[in-house]
Amino acid sequence: QLTLVESGGGLVQPGGSLRLSCAASGFSLDYYAIGWFRQAPGKEREGISCVSTTGVGTSYADSVKGRFTISRDIAKNAVYLQMDNLKPEDTGTYSCGLHSEGKKICLPNYEHTMDFWGKGTVVTVSS
């Protein structure tokens, strides 16, 4: 069974940091651009960052630019999201996703076209 598994979520105070991981089971992430998504309570899922297969091409939503960093480790078949200076509005369920047809770059509309996601990990930013 092919799955994406996210980990690293938790409860953190405002200003704190977390590192989320996205791992693949049953296939290699090498051939896919990977996106990170966030769904806040009562809101729709939004794309917040994306990384190409080479790791060179990255994109960020304005709401996280300068605070979040996306990266990938080919040897570990994983993609990470380093989240610094967290704010209460960063609270939500974070999931990683990809295009099942195998896009290698981050398309401008990736948040609407990626069609395979993990179940997510919950991040709560609160004092």
In tens digits, what is the pLDDT along the chain, a chain of 127 residues? 789 999 999 999 999 999 999 999 889 999 999 999 999 999 999 999 999 999 899 999 999 999 999 999 989 999 999 999 999 999 999 999 999 988 999 988 998 999 999 999 999 999 9
> Is the distance from CB of 5 to CB of 93 less than 8 angstroms?
no
SS3 113: helix
End-to-end alpha-carbon separation of the chain, Å? 39
pLDDT at 1: 79
Residue 109, token pair as written in the block = 């509309």
